[in-house]
């Protein structure tokens, strides 16, 4: 990307899960402030990482490193080669330099708000407010620590997230708007009152409203309810965001460059594929007894002496091989490991939908996705029907297809492409040299180039 200027300040507005469809097409004419940035600046599709989920995607953007280099492949990870022990990705699991660390070496001060994962808060050259994984507002959630009191005096109880997998959507809408209003109050305060050259924040509410209300907006959703009272819930939320963004823009000086970006996109969820039910049916996963109620994998009585593979749920499936000499009760010999993976790939990619429809499923050995592998990674990663179907890890329904998510109401899944908008108030030229998209790992180099750092 050819950037024809050096900025004194850079503001990065992170809208978690925003798809190109909404900003560039469906809602464009309803968002005057964002539309101005699109019309006057450069707008592209932003390709997410493998896997396209909030954690690790925001850290890929903030470091320029892929998940393999960071050793972070999602929100949760298997601990070593244990069957049941897990660890959750927190800020202290990110051991590579972030863009604000590089800027600090050049003496530039940064403000970060809500960038996952940023709990527990850590020392930065500037100010930091932690993200949605913060347990509650009673915990220390800022750096420096004194900033917490300033925020509480400004907005009262700070809100990090909402319960979005719920049938009480009226309460959810109220909570989403309250959370987002408070977030922008804090950001406006920090812009005005704290010194900074770089400011980046992530609004997680975008992701939450899409998960909870997509079926009312999208006529192509398999569970679409036309003319529902929530049909404009997502649009109205984006209108509110656009108003807040307009107020932020009014606080900036002319030497500030602005980026709007998302970590991945969103689209309609068609259903969930029960990966462990399939593995049981196909003879890869053996149970000592089938449960009489729906249970998660760690609560099942697994017969590891006869189990060759098991899986985790989520927006994609992570498949683990019960390898001899690696897992505690491994049975798959080294000589059979690769052939088993190839067999699983072939068979999983051949799975069809509940009506016999052909799926666009891809399954990948992890070393195919990441040149460097660190940390606790799976053996395979699987995207069912190009992410349109979630992976459900629970067992007990005696079916491999679900019409909904197995962990609560959910209307949307993630998609590969998010948004990238670059705008400069002076209208200085930027070109993408004919490109229509860029990769999320390119964000850090772009920010550094804006500051004249190569």
How far apart CA 186 and CA 355 sit, in angstroms, is 49
Q: Is the pLDDT of residue 429 over 70?
A: no
Helix (H) or strand (E) holding 402: strand 401-402
pLDDT category at 4 given cuts 50, 70, 90 is confident
How far apart CA 27 and CA 445 sit, in angstroms, is 30
Average pLDDT over residues 335-358: 98
Average pLDDT over residues 54-83: 97
Q: Is the pLDDT of residue 6 over 90?
A: no
pLDDT score for 98 = 98
Cβ(160)–Cβ(148) below 8 Å: no
Q: Which residue has the higher pLDDT, 408 or 148?
A: 148
Average pLDDT over residues 144-149: 98
Just give the CATH number of 2-269+415-450: 3.40.720.10
Tell me the whole-structure pTM to 2 decimals.
0.97
| Alpha carbon 224 to its chain's center | 24
Per residue in 372-381, pLDDT (tens digit) is: 999 999 999 9
Q: Is the pLDDT of residue 408 over 90?
A: no
- Structural domain spans, the chain: 2-269+415-450, 271-409
Specify burial of residue 117 (Cβ count, 10 A radius: 0-12, 13-18, 19+).
Answer: buried
Q: Which residue has the higher pLDDT, 47 or 428?
A: 47
| Percent of the chain at pLDDT exceeding 70 | 100
Q: Is the pLDDT of residue 189 over 90?
A: yes
Quickly list DSSP for 226-249. TT-TTTTHHHHHHHHHHHHHHHHH
**Mean per-residue pLDDT of the chain:** 96
Q: Cis peptide leading into 51, omega within 30 of 0? A: yes
Nearest in space to 28 (alpha carbons), one of 266, 245, 242, 260: 242
pLDDT score for 425 = 81
Average pLDDT over residues 412-432: 89
Average pLDDT over residues 59-79: 97
């Amino acid at each position: 990307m050819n950037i024809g200027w050096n900025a004194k300040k850079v503001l990065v507005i992170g809208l978690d899960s925003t798809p190109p469809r909404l900003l560039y097409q469906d809602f464009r004419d309803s968002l005057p402030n964002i539309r101005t940035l699109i019309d006057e600046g450069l707008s592209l599709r932003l390709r997410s990482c493998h896997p396209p989920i909030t954690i690790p995607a925001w850290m890929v953007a903030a470091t320029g490193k892929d998940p393999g280099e960071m050793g972070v492949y999602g929100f949760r990870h298997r601990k070593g080669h244990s069957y049941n022990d897990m660890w959750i990705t927190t800020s202290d699991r990110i051991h590579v330099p972030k863009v604000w660390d590089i800027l600090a070496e050049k003496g530039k001060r940064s403000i970060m708000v809500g960038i996952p994962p940023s709990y527990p808060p850590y020392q930065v050259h500037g100010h930091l407010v932690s993200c949605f994984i913060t347990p509650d507002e009673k915990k220390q959630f800022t750096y420096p620590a004194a900033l917490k009191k300033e925020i509480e005096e400004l907005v009262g109880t700070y809100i990090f997230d909402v319960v979005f997998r719920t049938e009480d959507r009226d309460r959810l809408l109220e909570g989403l708007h309250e959370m987002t209003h408070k977030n922008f109050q804090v950001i406006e305060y920090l812009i005005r009152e704290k010194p900074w050259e770089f400011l980046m924040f992530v609004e997680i509410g975008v992701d939450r409203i899409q998960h909870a209300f997509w079926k009312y907006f999208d006529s192509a959703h398999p569970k679409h309810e036309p003319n529902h009272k929530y049909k404009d819930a997502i649009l109205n939320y984006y209108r509110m965001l656009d108003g807040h963004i307009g107020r932020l823009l009014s606080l900036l000086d002319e030497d500030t460059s602005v980026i709007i970006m998302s970590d991945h996109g969103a689209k309609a969820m068609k259903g969930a594929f029960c990966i462990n039910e399939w593995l049981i049916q196909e003879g890869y996963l053996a149970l000592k007894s089938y449960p009489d109620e729906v249970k998660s994998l760690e609560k099942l009585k697994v017969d590891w002496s006869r189990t060759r593979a098991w899986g985790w749920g989520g927006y994609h499936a992570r498949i683990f091989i019960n390898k001899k000499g690696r897992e505690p009760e491994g049975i798959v010999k080294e000589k059979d490991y690769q052939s088993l993976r190839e067999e699983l790939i072939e068979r999983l990619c051949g799975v069809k939908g509940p009506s016999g429809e052909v799926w666009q499923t891809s399954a990948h050995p992890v070393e195919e996705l990441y040149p460097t592998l660190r940390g606790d990674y799976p053996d395979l990663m699987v995207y069912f029907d190009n992410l349109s179907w979630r992976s459900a890890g629970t067992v007990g329904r005696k079916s491999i297809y679900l019409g909904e998510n197995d962990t609560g109401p959910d209307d949307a899944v993630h998609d590969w492409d998010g948004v990238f908008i670059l705008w400069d108030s002076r209208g200085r030229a930027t070109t993408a040299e004919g490109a229509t998209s860029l990769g999320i790992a390119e964000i850090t180099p772009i920010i550094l180039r804006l500051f004249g750092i190569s």
